[in-house]
């Protein structure tokens, strides 16, 4: 069937008739929507809207993550023909998932950017869908979380990252990818006691009460134990999952702006994400994929897998049976 389909189908980003089902067009051709989903701005009946925010003007080191959403989409074509491994179900078969495209914004009007992001995500949530966002630098998570907190109240955060991103910054108008979770905690949109940061391996003395599972703990106790600990911390509260690709070791994700050695392997990340199954996930993002620093595309492959796992986690508690 897949072979016959590959002969007949192309550009399913525009031509597919259903928002459910695998895609069997040739992985090396066609329009590169995420997982070959339909590009649309109509969210009627949609369960998950995948959207890109190609922004990298908040970085402290190397830019390039504005190109991340495009390359993650390209690499996701490799995942479109098959059910996700290890889950025992396929969210692409059970849920209406679309590619909502990238957010439009004026790249030269930085002060207007945060509210534009919040309004963009709010439009998805108001339509009754969940969002999975492709970044972009990590600052985008702050205005995204504002939209989620409007709907769900204070959010529990699971963050995979090399950095806590809770460095002190009381100027709420500054756009910085290292201080946005400080602001999220201080403004009450993230509940630190029921939030957890995994893979941390940089120094920040004030964690603001957020629970930390650092990279060494993951290496010593295993990703299964880290996932179990994270599930216990968040309980049954609404959870947003933010995955900074630098949570992975640079050997597995060299294409990022602030690489730090000693990080998670891609295998550990896969086990961690799959063992989070059962959390009350309401949305998520994968950020900091910077294609200029990884000509092989390996980092974007990891980013595409992470986004797929977020979709699987979202669907796990909503699937049939």
Beta carbons within 10 angstroms of residue 88's beta carbon: 11
Beta carbons within 10 angstroms of residue 45's beta carbon: 11
Distances (CA, A) of 253 to 11, 36, 52, 258: 29, 24, 19, 11
Q: Is 249 annotated as a binding residue?
A: no
* Euclidean distance between CA atoms 52 and 200, whole angstroms: 25
Q: Is 305 annotated as a binding residue?
A: no
Residue 169 has φ and ψ, to the nearest 5°, of -160, 100
* Euclidean distance between CA atoms 277 and 94, whole angstroms: 16
Q: CA-based diameter of the chain, in Å?
A: 58
Establish whether the linkage from the previous residue to 136 is cis, with ω within 30° of 0. Answer: yes
In this structure, the chain runs to a length of: 321
* Euclidean distance between CA atoms 189 and 182, whole angstroms: 10
Exposure string over 102-135, b if 16+ CB within 10 A, otherwise e: bbebeeeeeeebbebbbebbbbbbeeebbbbbbb
Q: Is 244 annotated as a binding residue?
A: yes
What residues contact residue 296 under an 8 Å CB cut-off, 6+ apart? none
- E strand map for the chain: 48-53, 97-102, 130-135, 156-160, 196-200, 211-214, 238-244, 280-287
| CB-CB contact of 197 with 159 (8 Å) | yes
DSSP state of 261: S
Q: Is 137 annotated as a binding residue?
A: no
* Euclidean distance between CA atoms 304 and 286, whole angstroms: 8
Q: Is 177 annotated as a binding residue?
A: no
Q: Which residues are annotated as a binding site for Mn(2+)?
A: 138, 161, 163, 165, 244, 246
Q: Which residues are annotated as a binding site?
A: 138, 161, 163, 165, 244, 246
């Amino acid at each position: 069937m897949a072979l016959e389909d590959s002969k007949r189908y192309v550009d399913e980003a525009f031509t597919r008739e259903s928002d459910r089902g695998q895609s069997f067009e040739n992985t090396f051709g066609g329009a590169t929507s995420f997982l070959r989903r339909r590009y649309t701005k109509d969210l009627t009946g949609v369960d998950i809207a995948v959207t890109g925010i190609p922004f990298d003007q908040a970085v402290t080191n190397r830019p390039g993550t504005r190109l991340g959403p495009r390359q993650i989409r390209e690499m996701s074509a490799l995942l479109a023909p098959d059910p996700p491994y290890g889950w025992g179900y396929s969210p692409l078969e059970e849920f209406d998932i679309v590619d909502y495209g990238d957010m439009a914004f004026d790249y030269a009007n930085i002060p207007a950017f945060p509210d534009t992001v919040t309004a963009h995500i709010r439009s998805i949530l108001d339509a009754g869908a969940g969002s999975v966002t492709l970044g972009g630098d990590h600052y985008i998570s702050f205005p995204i979380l504002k939209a989620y907190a409007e709907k769900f109240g204070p959010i529990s955060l699971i963050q995979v990252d090399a950095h806590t991103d809770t460095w002190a910054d009381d100027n709420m108008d500054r756009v910085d990818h290292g201080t946005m979770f400080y602001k999220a905690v201080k403004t009450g949109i993230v509940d630190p006691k029921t939030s957890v940061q995994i893979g941390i391996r940089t120094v920040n003395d004030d964690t603001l009460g957020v629970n930390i599972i650092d990279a060494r703990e993951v290496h010593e106790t295993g990703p299964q134990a880290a996932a179990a600990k994270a599930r216990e911390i968040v309980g049954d509260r609404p959870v947003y999952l933010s995955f900074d690709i630098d949570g992975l070791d640079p050997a597995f994700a060299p294409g990022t702006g602030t690489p730090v050695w000693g990080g998670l392997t891609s295998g550990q990340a896969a086990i961690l994400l799959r063992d989070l199954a059962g959390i009350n996930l309401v949305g998520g993002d994968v950020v900091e994929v910077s294609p200029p620093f990884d000509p092989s595309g390996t980092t974007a492959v990891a980013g595409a897998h992470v986004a797929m796992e977020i979709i699987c986690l979202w669907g796990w508690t909503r699937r049939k049976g």
